[in-house]
Structure 1
Amino acid sequence: MCNSRFFVVTGVHYTVEAKLFIEIPTEAIQKDTAIKTARSEIWRCFVKSSEQSENSCVAVKSITFNRKPSADEVEEAKKIILHRASIWIELYHDNILRLEGIISDGGFGLLPALVSPWMENGSLDNYLDVRQPDLDKKLFVLREIAVGLQYLHSKDIYSDLTPVG
């Protein structure tokens, strides 16, 4: 079971599009298990913080290429990831997962990896398959998703919504 408290790791802070990111050094991360999707790997990891006695459990999402990319493709993908992260880091809502920081020192591939809290129930499709909630719980989850989506739309954020990480 993972500790769900937030963590702070002292690292390099830098700005992208006037947003401050916390750079989490790879050596502060202990990899556990990975879930591979068509375009990413989502790692369950543990982070030791100087401010906490216990390890914090986090998800580290690294975007992957399905072939060897050119240097230009890597740079363009980095810009896109950092742009999206600059939007995500500004979101504060109970139904929106927080961006905790990024890892860009190569420990998770060519591109910056995104660090967020680990969700013990996994993705929505996994939760529905494994937990098989009753109708009332499904309706509750649907309402919570709608509230989060309404918040995103109020910020002029529109994107594909999928039940997987």
Structure 2
Amino acid sequence: MSTPQYWLMKSEPDEAGIDHLQAAGQLGWFGVRNYQARNFMRDGMQLGDGVLFYHSSCAEPGIAGLAEVSAAAYPDPTQFDPTSKYFDPKTSLEKPRWLQVDVRFVRKTRLIGLPELRSHAELADMQILQRGNRLSITPVTPAQWAFIQTLF
């Protein structure tokens, strides 16, 4: 068995927030249309990996809860649906371009916003805090994960 890895996954709370995840228990992380984020899901994520569930593009962005990867990467069905905003006419069932994983709810936490994350030297190299970072999925080191657990 491999060592668990950790991730920060951004979602807009009005589309799929921590409350949606809590109500459903598990959600597919669909709609990722960035190759680097897709590759993290395809090549890095494993069952049981820890997830910092991050609310983005909202009044108060920040870590809102914890989840875990509950299904390995598989084709994102929204890429094939012409009615979906995530439709990709250049992909096919035979050669899907976009993937998703499933995440399982672990627990809600208090909201830890960007200003608080930035205030801790232990998190200075965290990808979400780097200038220009817009990825919806980023790796989190074991040390960052452990430190953030102390903030809840």
TM-score, normalised on structure 2?
A: 0.31
Bigger CA radius of gyration: 1
Higher strand share: 2
TM-score normalized by the length of structure 1: 0.30
More relative contact order in 1 or in 2 (CA 8 Å, sep 6+)? 2
